[in-house]
């Protein structure tokens, strides 16, 4: 094919040997690149030494979460793991490997950072959001209409994440209304909504819909789709108490809509 | 001389079979294997009963063992050949090999056969060195080695697909009775429905070689007996081997094909997204192949393909155009997965027939590169025979070594493994590539469960995706009897004292069910493959 007396004739062989040797070395390096339990134990010890009840512990990248929970899961209550978001946490511990960062620490500067054989422990501190009311804790006394299955507070899978949320499955084409008659409000109502259960998301592709009425006025509309995950909404509010109604609807059957909201100062 | 070279191919086949059999001992039981094992036992019993006149071939007898809608107890969604082989193998060898290995023996033998066939074809076209290297590169494919160790169809269809391509190519020699091609095609059809794609490759190739040989007329007359063989003996072989077709062939063929054309889309993670409905990215098959074949093998294949393209005037066996045939075989096996609508779950196992072509191109490429290097150095200074051989060994040995290192690193959790281009298993996890499927990794936590269990009392285990395999694990002595499967979903979690989560993105929900029932997010053990979590074990707090 080519003139084998020219140097270029040897190039493919040189490249193949180089690629192969790189692959041999890279394969073994990759296979041993993830920090082991000793590093995690050291990192966990640092967290335990300064952990305060109410702190949030997160792990990054997300795939290392089981390893993180193996070492520090006893400091993570189920409700914290299934939190709505991280705004109410003033101190966040992030344990990460491979240079990853958890979304809950985005935009924050660490007050401390230590590396334990590949596991980086960062502590973040900030002023937490002051929560005046969490609708998940106020299910007694709600008013419901419109039928459907629920509402009930569930630990649900939404967007492959755990969330403690109010789940309702509205009848197709009908509105399921859930009213909190006297919800204490601050300056903002922050909420999230998503579609729970991966298998119904696969089999039923139509979105759901959640509307929020405050004192009878429509304040927000969110239409989470099957690939949207846990969708945030926020509404400015006037401090005081007011009836707040969440209206779930879907055109399709079996659409499991799960939502949570907090009134923040 | 030829028999000695044939012995080399045979030796490589035997080594491959032994490698598969050795490797599978640490590989857990895949969910679907249990179905194939149980139906295979029944199929084998039925054939044994037929030849010993215990029963006849009447409709009632056939329906009992072979009948039912796809998805029902007799597994009519998949053709019978491998299941029958699995059942017969178990009957014959369970006393020697144990139950599980006896079921898995046919897959191992067929993988050895694949290596032999690749060796044979390459030997006839390019020579001994290329044949040995190509065959060894097939042997050193991490994912293929894994799949060959399962009692399933994915590795076998790679063998039967390639066997059909090989037989077709051999039968293009103008022989009077090219029955071999038809029969082998029929065996492929009796292995897995993906063999239905083969006519697209063989047909396109036949049209081209026929046209080259005799113009438009040649398309009809060139090797018409071969086409008749494929068209008649192929379906006939499938019909003979599959009693379900005997009494209502058209209706049952339609049921079989409809099942696959309307198959549910399982969850599958690719580049960080959980896919379970079309449209799928067009590049799934390409990227997955680039991440699951050793990089040096891919690079060698690139060299080989370049040599074929740039030096096409000197391709071997021009009348039968084997390189074109190999290219068409690869294109047709992987092509449907570029459409965006073909199910992508299972990933590379569904387009594994592309691999022989890659390995043959790689074998030809690396040997060509080594010879070119020898020629270049030889043009500058005189080389002894030993030095020439040394250069060949270094170049070829480096490529084989890379494949061997990747293969050793991958096992026994090869579905979690990705090649160096992806960054290994951790790199695959970073990129959001699929972690695993079929629940095989549960095998790795059985000793943890057994060691932790108290000596008295029953400790039910929530095992979700490993649930179908639980009885077999107990039967194989890998779990004590007092660790039974707790059952399905929330009821199973509630009844359990221990719980597993086999980590796949869409299985996160099992974590959450366990957290809710156990009141803790802390597992007692996390099994990891190269640091990547693959199974968590929870213990119910007292």
Sign, CA dihedral B469-B471-B474-B476, equals negative
3-state helix, strand, coil split of chain B in percent (to 5) is: 65, 5, 30
Note the pLDDT of residue B474. Answer: 96
Contacts of residue B276 in chain A, CB cutoff 8 Å? 198, 201-202
Q: What is the mean pLDDT of chain B?
A: 96
Q: Please compute the mean of the pLDDT values over residues B50-78 and round it to a whole number.
A: 95
Q: Please compute the mean of the pLDDT values over residues B106-130 and round it to a whole number.
A: 98
Q: Is the peptide bond before A199 cis (omega within 30 degrees of 0)?
A: no
Helix intervals (H) in chain A: 11-31, 37-50, 65-72, 78-81, 198-203
Place of tokens 């086999």: B502
Contacts of residue A15 in chain B, CB cutoff 8 Å? 299
Contact B496, A27 (CB under 8 A): no
Residue of A27, A197, A227 lying closest to B406 (CB–CB)? A27
- Strands, DSSP E only, in chain A? 56-60, 91-96, 110-116, 119-125, 131-134, 143-145, 149-158, 161-169, 175-185, 188-195, 208-214, 217-222, 231-236, 240-250, 257-264
Contact B419 A6 (CB under 8 A): no
Give the gap in angstroms from C-alpha A82 to the nearest C-alpha of chain B: 9
Residues in chain B: 542
Confidence tier at A1 by pLDDT (50, 70, 90):
low
Contacts of residue A206 in chain B, CB cutoff 8 Å? none
Confidence tier at B264 by pLDDT (50, 70, 90):
confident
Distances, alpha carbon A93 to alpha carbons A65, B312, B516, B522, in Å: 13, 62, 24, 17
Note the pLDDT of residue B344. Answer: 83
Using DSSP bridges, classify how beta strands B461-462 and B498-502 pair: parallel, antiparallel or unpaired: parallel
* The pair of three-digit structure tokens given for residue A64, joined into one six-digit string: 């290392």
Fill in the DSSP letter of residue B541.
-
Contact B423 A69 (CB under 8 A): no
Note the pLDDT of residue B1. Answer: 47
Contacts of residue B402 in chain A, CB cutoff 8 Å? 19-21, 23-24, 27
Q: What is the pLDDT of residues A159-187, one digit of tens each?
A: 999 999 999 999 999 999 999 999 999 99
Contact A32 B530 (CB under 8 A): yes
Q: What is the pLDDT of residues A82-111, one digit of tens each?
A: 999 999 999 999 999 999 999 999 999 999
Note the pLDDT of residue B2. Answer: 56
* Cross-sheet strand order for the sheet of A56-60: A56-60, A91-96, A119-125, A110-116
Confidence tier at B542 by pLDDT (50, 70, 90):
confident
Give the gap in angstroms from C-alpha A239 to the nearest C-alpha of chain B: 35
Distances, alpha carbon A185 to alpha carbons A151, A221, A241, in Å: 22, 19, 6
B535 vs B1 pLDDT, higher one = B535
Q: Give the nearest chain A residue to B513 (CA atoms).
A: A155
Give the separation between CA A17 and CA B411, rounded to whole angstroms: 24
Contact B498, B539 (CB under 8 A): yes
Q: Please compute the mean of the pLDDT values over residues B439-464 and round it to a whole number.
A: 94
Give the separation between CA B116 and CA A222, rounded to whole angstroms: 60
Note the pLDDT of residue B345. Answer: 82
Contacts of residue A161 in chain B, CB cutoff 8 Å? 508
Contact A185, A151 (CB under 8 A): no
H or E, element range at B501: strand B498-502
Give the separation between CA A201 and CA B276, rounded to whole angstroms: 9
Q: What is the pLDDT of residues B388-445, one digit of tens each?
A: 999 999 999 999 999 999 999 999 999 999 999 999 999 999 999 999 999 999 999 9
Contact B301, B362 (CB under 8 A): yes
Q: Please compute the mean of the pLDDT values over residues A115-141 and round it to a whole number.
A: 97
Confidence tier at A7 by pLDDT (50, 70, 90):
confident
* The pair of three-digit structure tokens given for residue B30, joined into one six-digit string: 């895949």
Residues 6+ away with beta carbon under 8 Å from B395: A13, A16, A17, B366, B369, B370, B373
Contact A31 B366 (CB under 8 A): no
Q: Is pLDDT above 90 for A2?
A: no
Neighbours of B166 (CB within 10 A): 23
Q: What's the whole-model pTM score?
A: 0.96
Contact A74 B267 (CB under 8 A): no
Note the pLDDT of residue B454. Answer: 87
Residue of A33, A69, A156 lying closest to B426 (CB–CB)? A33
Q: Which of A10, A22, A77, A97 to mutate to test the interface with B (most CBs of B within 10 A)?
A: A10
Residue of B420, B430, B533 lying closest to A23 (CB–CB)? B420
Contacts of residue B399 in chain A, CB cutoff 8 Å? 16, 20
């Amino acid at each position: 094919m080519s003139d084998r007396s020219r140097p270029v004739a040897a190039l493919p062989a040189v490249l193949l040997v180089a690629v192969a040797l790189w692959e041999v070395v890279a394969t073994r390096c990759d296979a041993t690149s993830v920090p082991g339990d000793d590093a995690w134990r050291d990192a966990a010890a640092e967290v335990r030494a300064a952990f305060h009840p109410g702190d949030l512990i997160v792990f990054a990248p997300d795939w290392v979460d089981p390893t993180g929970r193996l070492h520090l899961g006893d400091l993570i209550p189920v409700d914290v793991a299934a939190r709505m978001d991280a705004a109410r946490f003033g101190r966040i511990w992030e344990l990460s490997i491979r240079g990853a960062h958890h979304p809950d620490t985005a935009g924050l500067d660490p007050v401390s950072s230590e590396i334990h054989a590949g596991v980086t422990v960062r502590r973040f501190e900030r002023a937490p959001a002051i929560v005046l009311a969490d609708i998940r804790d106020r299910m007694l006394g709600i008013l419901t209409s419109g039928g459907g299955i629920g509402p009930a507070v569930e630990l649900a899978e939404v967007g492959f994440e755990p969330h403690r949320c109010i789940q309702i499955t509205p009848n197709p084409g009908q509105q399921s209304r859930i009213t909190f008659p006297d919800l204490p409000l601050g300056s903002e109502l922050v909420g999230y909504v998503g579609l729970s259960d991966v298998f119904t998301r696969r089999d039923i592709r139509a979105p759901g819909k959640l509307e929020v009425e405050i004192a009878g006025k429509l304040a927000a509309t969110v239409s989470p789709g099957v690939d949207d995950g846990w969708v945030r909404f926020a509404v400015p509010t006037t401090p005081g108490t007011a009836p707040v109604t969440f209206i779930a609807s879907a055109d399709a059957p079996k659409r499991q809509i799960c939502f949570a909201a907090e009134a923040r100062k | 001389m030829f028999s000695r070279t044939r012995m080399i191919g045979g030796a490589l086949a035997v080594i491959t079979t032994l490698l598969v059999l050795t490797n599978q001992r640490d590989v857990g039981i895949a969910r679907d294997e249990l179905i194939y094992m149980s139906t295979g036992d029944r199929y084998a019993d039925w054939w044994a009963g037929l030849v010993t006149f215990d029963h006849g071939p009447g409709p009632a007898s056939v329906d009992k063992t072979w009948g039912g809608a796809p998805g029902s107890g007799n597994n009519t969604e998949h053709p019978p050949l491998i299941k029958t082989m699995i059942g017969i193998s178990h009957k014959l060898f369970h006393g020697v090999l144990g139950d599980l290995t006896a079921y898995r023996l046919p897959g191992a033998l067929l993988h050895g056969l694949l290596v032999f066939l690749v060796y044979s074809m390459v030997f006839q076209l390019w020579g001994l060195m290329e044949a040995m290297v190509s065959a060894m590169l097939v042997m050193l494919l991490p994912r293929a080695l894994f799949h060959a160790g399962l009692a399933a169809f994915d590795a076998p269809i790679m063998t039967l697909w390639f066997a059909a391509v090989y037989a077709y190519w051999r039968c293009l020699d103008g022989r009077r009775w090219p029955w071999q091609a038809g029969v082998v095609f029929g065996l492929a059809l009796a292995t897995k429905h993906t063999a239905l794609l083969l006519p697209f490759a063989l047909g396109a190739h036949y049209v081209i070689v026929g046209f080259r040989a005799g113009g438009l007329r040649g398309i009809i007359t060139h090797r018409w007996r071969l086409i008749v063989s494929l068209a008649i003996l192929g379906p006939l072989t499938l019909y003979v081997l599959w009693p379900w077709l005997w009494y209502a062939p058209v209706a049952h063929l339609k049921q079989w094909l409809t099942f696959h054309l309307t198959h549910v889309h399982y969850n599958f993670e690719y580049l960080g997204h959980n896919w379970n409905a079309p449209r799928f990215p067009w590049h799934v098959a390409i990227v997955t192949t680039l991440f699951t074949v050793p990089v040096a093998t891919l690079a060698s294949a690139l060299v080989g393909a370049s040599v074929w393209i740039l030096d096409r005037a000197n391709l071997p066996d021009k009348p039968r155009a084997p390189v074109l045939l190999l290219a068409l075989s690869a294109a047709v096996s992987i092509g449907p997965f570029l459409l965006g609508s073909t199910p992508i779950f299972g990933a590379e196992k569904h387009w594994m027939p592309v691999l022989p072509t890659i390995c043959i191109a790689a074998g030809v490429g690396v040997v060509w590169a080594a010879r070119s290097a020898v020629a270049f150095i030889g043009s500058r200074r005189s080389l002894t025979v030993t030095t020439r051989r040394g250069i060949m060994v270094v170049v070829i040995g480096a490529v084989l070594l890379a494949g061997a290192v990747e293969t050793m690193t991958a096992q026994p959790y090869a579905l979690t493994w990705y090649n160096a281009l992806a960054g290994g298993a951790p790199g695959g996890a970073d990129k959001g590539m699929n972690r695993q499927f079929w629940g095989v990794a549960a095998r790795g936590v059985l000793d943890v469960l057994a060691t932790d269990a108290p000596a008295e009392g029953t400790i039910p285990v929530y095992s979700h995706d490993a649930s179908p395999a639980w009885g077999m694990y107990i039967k194989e002595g890998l779990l004590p009897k007092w660790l039974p499967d707790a059952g399905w979903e929330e009821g199973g979690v509630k009844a359990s004292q221990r719980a597993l989560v086999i980590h796949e993105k869409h299985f996160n929900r099992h974590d959450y069910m366990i957290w809710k029932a156990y009141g803790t997010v802390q597992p007692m053990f996390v099994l990891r493959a190269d640091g990547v979590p693959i199974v968590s074990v929870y213990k119910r707090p007292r």
